[in-house]
Chains A and B, each alone.
Chain A
């Protein structure tokens, strides 16, 4: 049974690119357009659990930091690796991400191989 990843980004094309990379690595992918939708999808996932979350920072309705803060309150997502994938690279923002419970911070653009390497580090087989 393949592992499940939740991809959160308000850009359709970005979700496609991340999903393509993850599916190529053997993941099943759930997509969400903002933080609130991601929380809903997370609740609806099998056992309320996914193996990996990759989220954008700036999104309408609910941004990535708020989403992570909310997700970390769910027992099923308490220890799930969550990678921020954003255009922002400021240290203050990274500190905010770390504070709310992000596992790592990737500045766009990413390379598919690179993303897979990072995932292998945070999510051992």
Chain B
């Protein structure tokens, strides 16, 4: 009995040990308790078997230790397995979650990319549309400008034609012809006036001659009056002599008286003639003065009129020449305008070059838009863009610096 006490103590310890470990420990402990009870009952009866029992106990203990160890190992393994399983499950969940997240992220990213692609595509479409709109607007503006310039040119050409006609008409039947006619008429008129003046002057001279002749008449009248005085004196002497002769002289006295009367009549006639002559002389002199004055006036006025007319015609001719020069200048300027419009036409061709260059910008924009939409798997809506293919355009600055030679032309044989 004393021998088995350490075993009992050890067994109790084992039981307690097992019992504290796990439900399996309790089962093992219970089994061991039954075994101990049986062993205690048997120990009383079979002391001889105690050693064997002890061995069996030792073996059992050893086996128990082994079993315990195995259980412990198993438990450990189970625990590890549980942990691994849990971990694996956790990992699976995590993987699933990660996959889900990745899928979610991928979908979101795809959506985001599609959204960006759509926005970028719209922007590109807008850019291309704006470029084309700019081309159209520039085309319309240039077209309007060209229309205006060609109108100006047409007006200028019409002006040139009108001016040329005016020059030709002026040369044929215009002012110059009228001036020439007026000059002829005026020359004729002045000649006529001068001729008249000369004639009047001639008349004055003739009248002066008449005055001189009248003066000579006065001399004759003086002689007549002298004769009359002498005749009167003679008749007086004859009367004296007749009176001295008495009756014989009566007849002679009658004759002497008659001679005295004749002498008196001669004297009166001479005086009347002198008075008339003086009157004629006076009037002739006056007429002579008037004629001379008229002739001078006529001549002076003729010369003055001629001078004024010459000046007037010179002014008219000068005005006509100025007018012709102005018309010619107008014609030249009109031609110049027409040539300038020609230069404008050349300069405006930059629009065609600009249009093609802008179309070359719009073309890649449109292509980029299509590529972006296709890359994003989005439908490509049609937009109406006129985008011709025109490679090889000369550099713009080279083209606009064109100097006017014919290097840009080639005629094929």
Contact = CB atoms under 8 A, between A and B. Distances in A.
Nearest to A86: B390
Closest 6 CB pairs of A and B: A109-B349, A58-B390, A107-B408, A112-B342, A104-B411, A13-B142
Contacts of A109: 346-347, 349-350, 353, 399-400, 402
A17 interface: yes
B410 A94 contact: yes
Contact of B355 (A11, A88, A105): A11
Contacts of B6: none
B394 interface: yes
Contacts of B352: 9, 11, 13-14, 87, 108
B146 A16 contact: yes
Contacts of B153: 20, 24
A117 to B, nearest CB: 8
Contacts of B393: 87-88
Interface string B333-369: 0000000011101111111110110000000000000
B147 interface: yes
A14 B409 contact: no
B291 to A, nearest CB: 73
A20 B356 contact: no
Interface residues of A, number: 41
Given A13-B139, A87-B393, 10 more contacts: A20-B341, A60-B386, A89-B394, A102-B412, A107-B408, A110-B346, A110-B349, A111-B343, A111-B404, A112-B346
Interface centre among B139, B146, B355 (most CB of A within 10 A): B146
28 contacts: A9-B352, A10-B388, A11-B355, A13-B352, A16-B147, A16-B150, A17-B146, A17-B345, A20-B146, A21-B342, A24-B153, A24-B157, A58-B356, A58-B390, A87-B394, A90-B392, A103-B411, A103-B412, A106-B408, A106-B409, A108-B349, A108-B353, A108-B408, A109-B346, A109-B353, A109-B399, A111-B346, A114-B409
A45 interface: no
Interface in B24-81: none
Contacts of B389: 58
Contacts of B355: 11
Contacts of B349: 14, 17, 108-110
A105 B404 contact: no
Interface of B: 139-140, 142-143, 146-147, 150, 153, 157, 341-343, 345-353, 355-356, 386, 388-390, 392-394, 399-400, 402, 404, 406, 408-412
B345 to A, nearest CB: 5
Interface string A50-84: 00000001111001000000000000000000000
Contacts of A113: 342
Given A21-B345, A108-B349, A87 B356 contact: yes
A5 to B, nearest CB: 16
A110 B343 CA distance: 9
A22 to B, nearest CB: 11
B411 A87 contact: no
B306 to A, nearest CB: 52
A3 interface: no
A89 B396 CA distance: 13
A104 B410 CA distance: 6
Nearest to A93: B392
Nearest to A59: B388
B345 A88 contact: no
A53 to B, nearest CB: 14
A113 B340 CA distance: 12
A105 B143 CA distance: 24
A121 B411 contact: yes
A13 B348 contact: yes
B143 A104 contact: no
Contact of A111 (B142, B342, B356, B399): B342
Contacts of A93: 392
A107 B402 CA distance: 10
A87 B346 contact: no
Contacts of B390: 57-58, 87-88
A100 to B, nearest CB: 11
B409 A20 contact: no
A45 B171 CA distance: 45
A24 B402 CA distance: 23
B411 A118 contact: yes
A114 B352 CA distance: 18
Contact of B388 (A20, A58, A98): A58
Contacts of A117: 406
Nearest to A118: B409
Which of A9, A13, A93 is packed against the most chain B CB atoms within 10 Å? A13
A9 B353 CA distance: 13
